[in-house]
Structures are given as structure tokens and as C-alpha cells.
């Protein structure tokens, strides 16, 4: 029997999550995190991108990252959602260090919450890396090619300003088989 698409959760807003991992079986970390995002209260996982492989920022002496993007429809506030993301990071063994670009089992960034702009000690929206990071923009484009960014630019146009050198989209089947 064909599956009916999930109706959009009433009074929900779209929230875009950037996922990244470069420790302890990154592909599995990302898959586990996607399951956990799908299980969040008052939230639906609308779609997610393929996994992408990227070179680490800053400190190059660490393994490559696996990145992905997920689109949620949520009734949670941005702060409630951020707290849930941090809970998932902790559940997956995230060790917090003072080092800015340290290797990590799981990093979940709230990239966008609808078109909100927020600048507080706890939360910056859009996420500060949104406009410049290829490993954020290309997976986001795969999820939502028609997205208009809060700066008024279509994501499709903005992408042309950011090189995808060093970023590799992984075949989902290969990724599921445990590569890299
Ligand atoms: P990170 O090292 O990238 O995991 O940064 C985590 C810190 O960034 C936390 O203290 C968050 O409160 C803060 N933060 C600010 N804005 C965001 C955002 N849009 N998404 C995730 N964390 C954020």
C-alpha cells in the first residue's frame, strides 16, 4: 500500500540542522543522530541530505568529517530545540573542550529557524557558519533547493559564491556499508 506523506505538524516551523562528526564511526554517528532527530518531541524529520565528506577546519591534524543536513518541522521554540540538539550531542558522547575546532563525535548546529534572526549569548541565528561553509550549504541545497536565505538571496544563487573543493558527496549505499 503506498505510504501517505506525513502531514505538516500544525503550527510548526521549518528548522534546518547541520550535522557533523569525525570520531568513532562518523557515518554511524550521523545516522544515529538522524534517528534521534526523528524522535524529538513535537517535531517531524521532514528530509535529510546524503552524507558528505569534508576536510577539517583549522586544525588539519584530525580525521575528515562526515556532514549532512536535516530539515525538521517543529513546534519547539528555537531555545527548546537548541537544548534538544545539545542533549543528542551529549547522548552520543560529545566531549566539550576549549579548543575551537577540536575533533568531535557529533556536532549539531541550528542553521536556520524559519527566517528568525537572533543574537544572544546562547544562540545565534542564522548560524554564523551558514553563509561561508561548503559543508553546510551544499547539503542544505540538496534538501531544499528553492530555499531563500534570510539575507534575501536564493540559496541556488548563493551557492555559486562558495567553492565545493574538498567536499565529496557520498553515495548513500556506500555510506550505509560503512565507508569511509
Ligand atoms: P559548538 O562548539 O559548535 O558545538 O558550539 C556550541 C555553542 O554554540 C553552544 O554554547 C551554543 O549555545 C552556541 N550556539 C550559538 N548559536 C548556535 C547555533 N545556531 N547552533 C548551535 N549552537 C549555537
Taking only the tens of pLDDT, the chain with its 180 residues reads 555 666 678 899 999 999 999 988 999 999 999 999 999 999 999 999 999 999 887 767 888 999 999 999 999 999 999 999 999 999 998 777 766 667 678 999 999 999 999 999 999 999 999 999 999 999 999 999 999 999 999 999 999 999 999 999 998 655 655 544
Contacts of 26 (CB under 8 A, 6+ apart): 63, 65, 66
Instruction: Report the predicted TM-score, pTM, of the whole model to 2 decimal places.
Output: 0.91
Q: Which three cell numbers stand for residue 117?
A: 534572526
Domains of the chain (ranges plus CATH)? Answer: 13-177 (3.30.70.560)
Determine whether the shortest distance from the Cβ of 129 to ligand 1 is under 6 A.
Answer: no
In short, whether 110's Cβ falls inside 6 Å of ligand 1 is: yes
pLDDT at residue 179, rounded to an integer: 47
CA 127–ligand 1 middle distance (angstroms): 8
CA of 1 to the centre of ligand 1 (A): 42
Contacts by 160-165 with C-beta closer than 8 Å and gap 24+?
Answer: 162/132, 162/133, 162/134, 162/137, 163/134, 164/134, 164/138, 165/134
- Residue from 101, 109, 126 to probe ligand 1 pocket by mutation (most atoms less than 8 Å from CB): 109
Amino acid at each position: 500500500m503506498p505510504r501517505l506523506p506525513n502531514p505538516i505538524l500544525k503550527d510548526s516551523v521549518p528548522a534546518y540542522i547541520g550535522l557533523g562528526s569525525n570520531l568513532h564511526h562518523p557515518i554511524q554517528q550521523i545516522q544515529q543522530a538522524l534517528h534521534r532527530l526523528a524522535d524529538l518531541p513535537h517535531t517531524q524529520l521532514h528530509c535529510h541530505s546524503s552524507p558528505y565528506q569534508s576536510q577539517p577546519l583549522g586544525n588539519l591534524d584530525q580525521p575528515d568529517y562526515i556532514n549532512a543536513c536535516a530539515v525538521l518541522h517543529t513546534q519547539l521554540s528555537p531555545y527548546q530545540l537548541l537544548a534538544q540538539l545539545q542533549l543528542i550531542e551529549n547522548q552520543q558522547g560529545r566531549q566539550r573542550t576549549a579548543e575551537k575546532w577540536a575533533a568531535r563525535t557529533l556536532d549539531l548546529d541550528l542553521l536556520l529557524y524559519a527566517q528568525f534572526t537572533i543574537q544572544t549569548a546562547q544562540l545565534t541565528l542564522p548560524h554564523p557558519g551558514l553563509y561561508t561553509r561548503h559543508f553546510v550549504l551544499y547539503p542544505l541545497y540538496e534538501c531544499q533547493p528553492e530555499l531563500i536565505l534570510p539575507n534575501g538571496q536564493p540559496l541556488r544563487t548563493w551557492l555559486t559564491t562558495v567553492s565545493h573543493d574538498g567536499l565529496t558527496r557520498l553515495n548513500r549505499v556506500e555510506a550505509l556499508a560503512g565507508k569511509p
